[in-house]
Amino acid sequence: MAVLWELKKKKKSIQLKGVWGSFAERLQRLFWEMKAQAEWTKIKQEMCGLPKFSRKLIARIFNGRPADKGTTPWIAMLSHPNGQPFCGGSLLGSNWILTAAHCLHHSLDPEDPILHDFYLLSPSNFKIIVGKHWRHRSDETEQHLRVKHIFLHPQYDPNTFENDVALVELSKGPVLNDFVMPICLPESSSEEGTMVIVSGWGKQFLRRFPETLMEIEIPIVDHRTCQEAYAPLKKKVTRDMICAGFKEGGKDACAGDSGGPMVTLDNETGQWYLVGTVSWGKDCGKKDLYGVYSDIYSNKNWIQRVTSMKN
């Protein structure tokens, strides 16, 4: 009888060990799955400027063209609560949108052109939409994000558009996927002649707003050439600005494109880098009047200080 009792005890002990072993194995497997998921999330957050859908590059895009869906996964739409878009932006990392500072405040009083705090948009005054392609129609890939804080460059001048850059911190970052991916910050300044692509939902040459995201391909222009072009209009092109476009005109960013990305491709790495954001200009696509963009490389230190990002 005692022997039988001992055998039962051993059998129960073996069964418990089996159950515990099975539970421990499941726990360990769950731990490694969670760790792998965390590592993958970190990799996705650090991965930038590598869209799954590649753009068919051509020498010139005549007067702009509709962008292929997914080729500009870093672009963001700034929208009023009623759904009306008013500016563009670019996703940096997993929690920041870079845009133009002039997008984030109301028009100033001409008699008192000082940017007081009450001119600034409140985080509840607008939202961010990523994964967007159509201007007004819904996209199955779009994500609506709430704004936590806004940061205007401390040296931004609303009268001259110097340092016309701002950062929007999101309450919660988007889910990164094939249609939502951050852009890389530039590692060096851009040279004259570099081909860049500008994207946005703005007016096409002051005629009408497009139905979908549009893009143009234009070259960066010599800084002095741009300064001389705007001198007769008494407009200053400062060192923190980049000009782009063709001397004969015809292609430019327009109303509604402000804050949107100007990017260039690194042929060695295959990554896209943010060169500038749409800032200002005279009309759209006028001969001898180039589009003016905020130089991201000139503002990179401030961007990294605010966001704590390396790239």
Which residues are known to be catalytic? Answer: 102, 164, 258
* Strand, helix or coil for residue 39: helix
Measured distance CA(273)–CA(262) in Å, rounded: 9
For residues 161 and 108, the answer to whether their CB atoms sit within 8 Å is no
Beta strands in the chain (DSSP E): 65-66, 75-79, 85-92, 96-99, 127-130, 143-145, 147-152, 166-170, 195-200, 214-221, 241-244, 261-266, 271-280, 291-295
| Buried residues in 173-199 as b, exposed as e (16+ CB within 10 A) | bbebeebbbbbbbbeeebeeeeebbbb
For residues 159 and 235, the answer to whether their CB atoms sit within 8 Å is no
121: its two tokens: 């948009």
Helix, strand counts (H, E) of the chain: 3, 14
The kind and range of the H/E element at 230 are helix 223-230
For residues 170 and 160, the answer to whether their CB atoms sit within 8 Å is no
Q: Strand pairing of 166-170 and 96-99?
A: antiparallel
Greatest Cα pair distance, the chain, in angstroms, is 111
* Strand, helix or coil for residue 28: helix
